[in-house]
């Protein structure tokens, strides 16, 4: 028997696209254009898109049926209503029903004349002001959401409240102190070497802020500075409850680009990509404007500042789907394929975008790099804790008295963030459970907040740091409804690439919806999900449910298996 090395695993879609000049690069954009204002199913319009770019119909249908933006019907007026955790907690999920009733259109459908369509999405980045919706690209937020969409009230969309709680911001320097971007980049290109940049980041102890917490310098080193290396800024911030990346891309896009440029320099890459989720239209526009300005100012392009350094950056729009933010799924989407997680090895740093070594760092991670290169890795390492250094943007949801994004040092007690910075819950409401790090991050009970904000300390209590979004639940939401919400999210967002997650998430939703305490079958289901799922999405579902059961105690008995 011939044993095939995983690095040589055959990918039919990639091979076909490469033979035809990589037309898949244009596929996603073409699908987005074709879907606009089209209420029919993808089978009616996607094959023509495939033909236009030189691919078989199946290539376009695969993506069109998979990504939420393409699969949902689009009327002339398309409304995306957030059904994610923070908006759910704001009104126990009743806002979606109110919108459907006001517009006469059910989520996932279009009106009979194709004039209006409604799509339920998971997170629009307005967790601090929810519930929220996008009417086209116009945001509407707050308790009167349905009235705004019905035209009885003007749209309301407050900006993101942001504050530094460290005294020396790493990430919010531009937002709160007016620091200008690209100053570090100029000095780096003209006076430093890639080794020097890499050493400073290694000394800083910086870890990825996208949830996995992998050491940034180690990931950069794994790419080996091969000449075809690509660095991707992952702006597909899918964790409901977090809007840190949206804040950075909208308020300080130059800092994000400068961090990406420094990462490219350290990795020996001449190509960078910024992936921005489609649910962030303002961030997408700001990033594209910032890239254009950077080229005009001479920060990007060939022979930068009279040196041999060349760097080109492009901005790409995502198409919906939570799992598509996972790095291998993100790469598949950039190639025009379904955003499903790929088996590893090979790792992206070995074989990523179109087979090239690819480094994927999230937006917040890259935004910290200019500070580190300017001030030194040792200065950054003195922030936070010895094992988890630096600062983190923590996002507080609408239920808090003072919602917003706060830059804190890692190790800051969660209770201080909740009560000191957030002011507790508004209107004197009682905190019952706190979700940390997204819907699959985990929950803490109100009496269990004396824990440092670090990955290790939260993991020891069954939660996870993730993107560090904090969503508060008060007594207005029943614990059974929160449980069902988690399973609904899992079932809807499973990419379907592996049966343990695809089937298990749906079966879990059936059990949660039944209302009866789970039995032995749930214990078996939980073990299969945790041990056999292809990626962290499926593996995180059982711990998230267990942490919720612990937070609510007897009211969710049996779900802590």
Q: d(Cα 362, Cα 262) in Å, to the nearest integer?
A: 14
CA dihedral over 133, 72, 89, 143, signed as positive or negative: positive
| 520: nearest Cα among 530, 511, 532 | 511
pLDDT at 495: 86
pLDDT at 9: 61
Residue 195 pLDDT > 80: yes
Yes or no: say if 550 and 445 are a contact pair by the CB < 8 Å rule.
yes
CATH of domain 77-149: 3.40.30.10
The count of other CB atoms within 10 Å of the CB of residue 227 is 9
Residue 16 pLDDT > 90: no
Yes or no: say if 409 and 390 are a contact pair by the CB < 8 Å rule.
yes
Phi, psi of 45 (to 5 degrees): -130, -25
| Parts of the chain belonging to CATH 3.40.30.10 | 77-149
pLDDT winner (highest mean) among 5-19, 159-173, 327-341, 523-537:
159-173
Q: Which residue has the tokens 């879990």?
A: 508
Residue range 543-547: average pLDDT? 93
Residue range 423-427: average pLDDT? 97
| Parts of the chain belonging to CATH 3.10.20.600 | 391-473
| 547: nearest Cα among 428, 464, 474 | 464
pLDDT at 17: 65
Residue range 190-199: average pLDDT? 98
Q: Read off the pLDDT band of 449 (50, 70, 90).
A: very high
pLDDT at 59: 87
Question: pLDDT tens-digit profile of 253-306?
Answer: 999 999 999 999 999 999 999 999 999 999 999 999 999 999 999 999 999 999
Collapsed DSSP state (helix, strand, coil) of residue 23: coil
Yes or no: say if 239 and 211 are a contact pair by the CB < 8 Å rule.
yes
Phi, psi of 243 (to 5 degrees): -140, 25
Average predicted confidence (pLDDT) for the chain: 93
Residue 13 pLDDT > 80: no
pLDDT at 135: 98
Residue 177 pLDDT > 50: yes
In CATH, the architecture of 162-381 is: 3-Layer(aba) Sandwich (3.40)
Residue 372 pLDDT > 60: yes
pLDDT at 5: 40
Collapsed DSSP state (helix, strand, coil) of residue 138: strand
Q: How far apart are the first and last CA of the chain?
A: 42
CATH of domain 479-556: 1.20.1440
Residue range 36-46: average pLDDT? 92
The DSSP bridge pattern shows strands 433-436 and 443-445 to be: antiparallel
pLDDT at 361: 97
pLDDT winner (highest mean) among 54-63, 105-114, 549-558:
105-114
Collapsed DSSP state (helix, strand, coil) of residue 71: helix
Q: For Cα atoms 140, 154, 119, give the angle at the middle one, nearest 5 degrees.
A: 35
Note the pTM of the prediction, 2 decimals.
0.93
| Parts of the chain belonging to CATH 1.20.1440 | 479-556
Judge residue 397's burial from the number of C-beta atoms within 10 Å of its C-beta, 0-12 exposed, 13-18 middle, 19 or more buried.
buried
Residue range 212-239: average pLDDT? 93
In CATH, the architecture of 391-473 is: Roll (3.10)
Yes or no: say if 95 and 107 are a contact pair by the CB < 8 Å rule.
no
What would the two tokens of residue 380 be? Answer: 């950054």
Residue 2 pLDDT > 60: no
Q: What is the 3-state secondary structure (H, E, C) of 148-207?
A: HHCCCCCCCCCCCCEEECCCCCCCCHHHHHCCCCCHHHHHHHHHCCHHHHHHHHHHHCCE
Residue range 242-247: average pLDDT? 97
| 444: nearest Cα among 287, 524, 340, 549 | 549
3-state helix, strand, coil in the chain (%, to 5): 45, 15, 40
pLDDT at 15: 67
């Amino acid at each position: 028997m011939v044993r095939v090395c995983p690095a040589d695993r055959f990918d039919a879609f990639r091979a076909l696209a490469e033979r035809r000049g990589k037309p898949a690069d244009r596929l996603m954009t073409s699908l987005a254009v074709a879907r606009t204002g089209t209420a029919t199913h993808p089978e009616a319009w996607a094959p023509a898109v495939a033909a236009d770019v030189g691919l078989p119909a199946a290539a376009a249908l695969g993506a069109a049926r998979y990504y939420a933006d393409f699969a949902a019907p689009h009327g002339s007026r398309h409304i995306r209503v957030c059904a994610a955790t923070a908006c759910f907690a704001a009104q126990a999920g009743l806002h979606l029903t109110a919108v459907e009733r006001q517009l006469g259109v059910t989520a996932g459908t279009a009106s009979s004349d194709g004039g209006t369509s409604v799509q339920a999405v998971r997170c629009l980045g307005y967790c601090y002001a929810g519930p929220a919706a996008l009417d086209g690209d116009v945001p509407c937020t707050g308790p009167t959401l349905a009235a705004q969409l019905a035209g009885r009230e003007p749209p309301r969309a407050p900006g993101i409240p942001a504050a530094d709680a460290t005294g020396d911001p790493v990430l919010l320097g531009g937002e709160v102190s007016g620091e200008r971007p690209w100053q570090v980049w100029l000095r780096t290109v003209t006076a430093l070497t890639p080794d020097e940049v890499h050493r400073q980041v290694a000394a800083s102890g910086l870890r990825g802020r996208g949830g996995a917490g992998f050491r940034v310098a180690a990931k950069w080193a794994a790419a080996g500075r091969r000449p075809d290396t690509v660095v991707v800024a992952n702006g597909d911030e899918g964790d409901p409850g977090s809007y840190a990346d949206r804040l950075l891309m909208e308020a300080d896009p130059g800092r994000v680009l400068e961090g990406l440029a420094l990462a490219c320099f350290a990795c020996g890459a001449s190509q960078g990509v910024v992936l921005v989720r489609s649910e962030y239209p303002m961030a997408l526009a700001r990033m594209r404007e910032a890239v254009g300005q950077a080229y005009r100012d001479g920060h990007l392009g060939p022979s930068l500042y009279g040196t041999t350094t060349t760097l080109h950056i492009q901005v790409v729009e995502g198409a919906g789907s939570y799992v598509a933010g996972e790095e291998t799924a993100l790469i598949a989407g950039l190639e025009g394929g379904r955003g499903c997680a790929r088996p590893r090895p090979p790792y992206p740093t070995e074989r990523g975008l179109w087979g090239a070594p690819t480094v994927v760092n999230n937006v917040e991670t890259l935004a910290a790099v200019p500070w580190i290169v300017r001030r030194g890795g040792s200065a950054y390492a003195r922030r936070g804790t010895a094992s988890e250094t630096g600062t983190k943007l923590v996002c507080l949801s609408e239920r808090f008295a003072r919602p917003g994004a706060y830059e804190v040092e890692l190790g800051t007690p969660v209770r201080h963030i909740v009560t000191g910075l957030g002011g507790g819950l508004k209107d004197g409401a009682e905190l019952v459970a706190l979700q940390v790090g997204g819907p699959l991050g985990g929950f803490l009970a109100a009496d269990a907040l004396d824990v440092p904000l670090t990955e290790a300390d939260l993991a020891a209590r069954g939660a996870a740091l993730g993107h560090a979004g904090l969503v508060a639940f008060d007594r207005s939401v029943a614990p059974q409804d929160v449980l069902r919400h988690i399973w609904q999210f899992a079932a809807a967002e499973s990419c379907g690439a592996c049966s343990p997650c695809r089937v298990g998430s749906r079966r879990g939703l059936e059990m949660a919806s039944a209302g009866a305490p789970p039995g032995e079958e749930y214990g078996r289901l939980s073990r299969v999900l945790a041990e056999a799922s292809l990626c962290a999405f499926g593996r995180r579902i059982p711990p998230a449910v267990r942490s919720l059961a612990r937070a609510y105690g007897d009211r969710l008995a049996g779900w802590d298996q």
